């Protein structure tokens, strides 16, 4: 019996849609990261990007548990002295709801070139519509 080592050119990529309406942010992010990495496939190999494409819709209606809406902070720095900015999750949801979901998913992917390659297969939309109908995505139940 031989062990089959998959190569990058044999990958079949599927498209999946996750409806994030009234779903907990962390649960959506873990499932999306798992599919982006390809861990749901039997041919999973840690050093290859064998994951599928993910479309997350209704990102603006994702749910945060506990007091995270007010206590969770998103920090970024402008690069200038005193340039640290902090934005609460409530404010982030009002101004950039897509960023809320993207950062949660990106934080669960590898921090490498391979992780960036996986992240490029993620598409997040604040509303229920998306422009990827031609790829015939299937629903991914959580």
CA distances from 47 to 31, 65, 87, 108, 141 (A): 20, 34, 35, 16, 27
**Which tops the pLDDT comparison, 38 or 8?**
38
Pick from 123, 142, 141: nearest CA to 133: 123
Reported as a single tens digit per residue, the pLDDT across 77-130 is 999 999 999 999 999 999 999 999 999 999 999 999 999 999 999 999 999 999
Pick from 1, 7, 12, 14: nearest CA to 45: 7
Q: What is the pTM of this model?
A: 0.92
* Confidence (pLDDT) at 2: 87
Domain 12-64+95-139 has what CATH class? alpha beta
Backbone angles phi, psi at 105, to 5 degrees: -75, -45
Domain range annotation of the chain? 12-64+95-139
Average pLDDT, the chain: 95
Q: Which residues pair with 138 in a beta bridge?
A: 16
């Amino acid at each position: 019996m031989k062990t089959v080592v998959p190569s990058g050119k044999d990958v079949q990529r599927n498209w999946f849609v996750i409806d994030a309406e009234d779903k907990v942010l962390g649960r959506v992010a873990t499932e999306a990261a798992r599919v982006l990495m390809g861990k749901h496939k039997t041919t999973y190999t840690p050093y290859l990007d064998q994951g599928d494409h993910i479309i997350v819709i209704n990102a603006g209606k994702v749910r945060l548990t506990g007091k995270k809406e007010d206590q969770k902070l998103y920090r970024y720095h402008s690069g200038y002295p005193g340039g640290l900015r902090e934005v609460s999750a409530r404010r982030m949801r009002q101004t950039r709801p897509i960023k809320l979901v993207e950062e949660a998913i990106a934080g669960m992917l590898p921090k490498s070139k391979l992780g960036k390659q996986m992240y490029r297969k993620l598409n997040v939309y604040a509303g229920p519509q998306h422009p990827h109908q031609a790829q015939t995505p299937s629903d991914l139940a959580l």
